[in-house]
Amino acid sequence: MTKIHLLTVGLIVAASLSLILPMQVWAGVTNKDELRVLVKLRDWKGETAGWQKGVLGAREVRLISRRKPRDYVAAGKRKIAGDLRRWRVVTVPSGELSSVLEELKKDKIVTEVRVEQIYREAMVPNDPYFNQQYGLLNTSQSQADINAVLAWDKTTGLASTVIAIVDGGVDLTHEDLQHKIWLNSREAQGNGKDDDGNGFVDDVAGWDFVENKPAGYANTHATHVAGIAAAEGNNGIGVAGVDWQARGMSVRVLNRYGLGREADIAAGIDYATANGAKVINLSIAGGRSQIIEEAIENAYAAGVVVVAAAGNQGGDTGLLNLAPVCSEPVGINMVLGVGAIDEDGEPASFSNFGRCVDIAAPGKRIISTVLGNRYRSMSGTSMSAPLAAGVAGLYLASHPGAGPMEVIAAIKNGGLFTGEKASLWNERYKGYLDAAKVLGVAGVETPMVSPVPTSVPGVSGGVFKLGLIRQGALETAPGNEVNYQVRVENMGMGVASGVIIKDSFDRDLRLVAEKSSGSCRVSRRDVICEMGELAGGESRQIDLVYQVDALARCRARIINRAEVYAQEQGLSRRQAVSERTETRVICK
């Protein structure tokens, strides 16, 4: 088969999949016998003209918004946001989908019609027992936390700031969130009336667009996200959110499987905008959507800061064509896209990157609130986004009246990655989130003893410097020995306990134990050297001797890099990394 034949087959397969994909994607979202179709009308008054009669008949048709589109200024020109009143959502039996789509496409008042897309949580489940908020305070790696402690010295937020969690529903009764929930003061609870005339009956604490009722249903993902952004700080309970004072608005758009309909997400964004949210957090990801872009455009025009997770495919956001992280006109930064870094301050392997990502924040093993007054850690850009949303809340508290353009620009002005891959990382992620720098208090080292809230755990007294010294030639031959010296120094004032050095060795090497330091043992492809306690100012050295395998590949490059770990809160955490060394194998 020739190359051109292969390409043709690939296109045919892709086209075929697009026909069956809607039913697969919708599994677990709704009745498998029904689908929802998005219809955009040429004129928002089209409904009164009776356009839906005939082919639609008595089928359920609902609006996204009744509010006029907003206008805003971009690049010195006044623009009008998309008109959400022109969109309709039609529920269609799956067996009639093709005929309904065909008929709607013939209608002169219809400008767009398609099957609704589905979005999912931008979260990667992980170890639920990790019990440290390193993303807020971590003295061992400067770019592994957001420098929250210094930011809190300037402000812990304002109760007037509302952060909308457009997600799967926040636990309104959680011990660390119950005093931080947005309440609609214009709505009387349980009287069955729309007291404030916003179109939603009894929406005292938000709205559930999945079941079309007042907020109340809660899921783990949304509750976790809410705690990261705005759990009550300094209250002696659980964890600390980034913004201690802001109120969280529960807007449910994801079902219990973590999947959400396109139109519900747009309606949720519109609801948050209309009801006073200053920041909207979208820890969700899916395909590009015009209706979501129009909802975000209206939010931006209303002065709302929209924060979105980059997604977890480990790919380029621009090539993946994702929403809502890429839901903005070219040249206008309406969405703050957030990628993820790990506890060592390096980009997380799962995090998306590229054009739509504006900053990176901790997103691996982040501990926060979950259902039932409990706490657990989760990973994903879902966890990175609310850190940035919380910082947006802090910025608004210290800069009243700031618009989304100013807030996004300030947050993007974070710290730059350093090290051998810094250029690539800064290109892909634009740097890492630094709350202190955003608030104008950067340039001060985080103190070893800080006025941290009781909900933030302490750290060890170690501040480490580690060096890996190679002894011998830059080149070696099979059968020869390669010698290394590893020196570690505790540059802090406190005693560090449980100190170990880990050296990952190449497959072409084997440890010569009798010539190496006695405290070292082999664990798979690592050498673990236990050092016990290391007092402040104390340094130690170990010797490692490897033999190059007799069958080592010619011209192979042996890479070596050592790391030092110490105990923090009973867990071993990486403290420092050496420069890597490289030895070339020469066959004679």
By annotation, the residues acting in catalysis are 167, 221, 382
Rounded to whole angstroms, the Cα distance separating 588 from 573 reads 43
User: What's the one-letter identity of residue 174?
Assistant: H
- Is residue 531 within 8 A of residue 500, CB to CB? The reply is yes
Rounded to whole angstroms, the Cα distance separating 548 from 560 reads 13
Rounded to whole angstroms, the Cα distance separating 586 from 576 reads 32
**What is the greatest pairwise CA distance in the chain?**
90
Q: Which helix (H) or strand (E) holds 40?
A: strand 34-41
Q: What tokens does 254 get?
A: 């994801």
Rounded to whole angstroms, the Cα distance separating 41 from 263 reads 15
Question: Residue ranges of the alpha helices (H) in 372-496?
Answer: 381-398, 404-412, 422-429, 435-438
Q: Is the peptide bond before 404 cis (omega within 30 degrees of 0)?
A: no
Q: Is 7 strand, coil or helix? A: helix
Q: Which helix (H) or strand (E) holds 295?
A: helix 290-301
Q: What tokens does 414 get?
A: 């974070």
- Is residue 580 within 8 A of residue 467, CB to CB? The reply is no
Q: What's the alpha-carbon Rg for the chain, to the nearest Å?
A: 27
Question: Count of residues for the chain?
Answer: 588
Q: Residue 532 has what DSSP assignment?
A: E
Q: Residue 427 has what DSSP assignment?
A: H
Rounded to whole angstroms, the Cα distance separating 147 from 140 reads 12
Closest CA to 26 of 113, 120, 98: 120
Rounded to whole angstroms, the Cα distance separating 184 from 249 reads 9
Rounded to whole angstroms, the Cα distance separating 268 from 255 reads 13
Q: Which helix (H) or strand (E) holds 211?
A: none
Rounded to whole angstroms, the Cα distance separating 120 from 49 reads 36
Q: Is 539 strand, coil or helix? A: strand
The 3-state secondary structure of 538-556 reads: CEEEEEEEEEECCCCCCCC
Closest CA to 172 of 247, 271, 85: 247
Q: What tokens does 344 get?
A: 């060592």
Question: Which region holds residue 268: left if phi is over 0, alpha if psi is between -120 and 50, else beta?
Answer: alpha
Q: Is 512 strand, coil or helix? A: coil
How would you label 194-215 residue by residue, b for 16+ Cβ within 10 Å and e otherwise?
eeeebebebbbbbbbbbeeebb
CA distances from 514 to 544, 546, 547, 550 (A): 10, 11, 12, 19
- Is residue 347 within 8 A of residue 353, CB to CB? The reply is yes
Q: Which helix (H) or strand (E) holds 103?
A: helix 97-106
